[in-house]
Amino acid sequence: MVLITRKIEFSASHLYHNPNLSAEENRRIFGKCNNPHGHGHNYTLEVTVGGEPDPVTGMVLDLKELKGILEREVMQRMDHRHLNYELPELAGQIPTTENIARVIWQLLDPKITRGKLQRVRLYESPDLFADCYRNGAATAGNR
Partner 1 sequence: MSSALKVELGRRYRFSASHRLHTPHLSEVENYRVFGKCSNPYGHGHNYVVEVSVSGDIDPATGMIANLADLDAFVERRVLEEFDHKSLNEDVPAFRDTVPTTENLCIEIFQRLKSFPKAKLERVRVEETGKNSFEYAGENLEGNRP
Active site residue 86: no
CA distances from 85 to 9, 34, 71 (A): 20, 15, 20
Q: Are 95 and 17 in contact (CB under 8 A)?
A: no
Q: Are 137 and 143 in contact (CB under 8 A)?
A: yes
How many whole angstroms separate alpha carbon 31 and alpha carbon 48? 33
Q: Is 85 in the site for partner 1 (CB under 8 A)?
A: no
How many whole angstroms separate alpha carbon 8 and alpha carbon 16? 24
Binding mask 30-69 toward partner 1 (x if CB under 8 A, else -) reads xx--------------------------------------
- Find the binder of partner 1 among 21, 44, 51, 81 (CB under 8 A): 21
Question: What torsion do the CA atoms of 9, 11, 13, 17 make, to the nearest 10 degrees?
Answer: 10
- Find the binder of partner 1 among 15, 60, 74, 94 (CB under 8 A): 94
Active site residue 80: yes
Instruction: Select from 15-23, 36-44, 60-68, 69-77 the region that touches partner 1 (CB under 8 A).
Output: 15-23
Active site residue 132: no
Positions in the binding site for partner 1 (CB under 8 A): 3, 16, 18, 20-21, 29-31, 93-99, 101-102, 105-106, 119, 121, 126-135, 138-143
Active-site residue numbers?
33, 80, 124
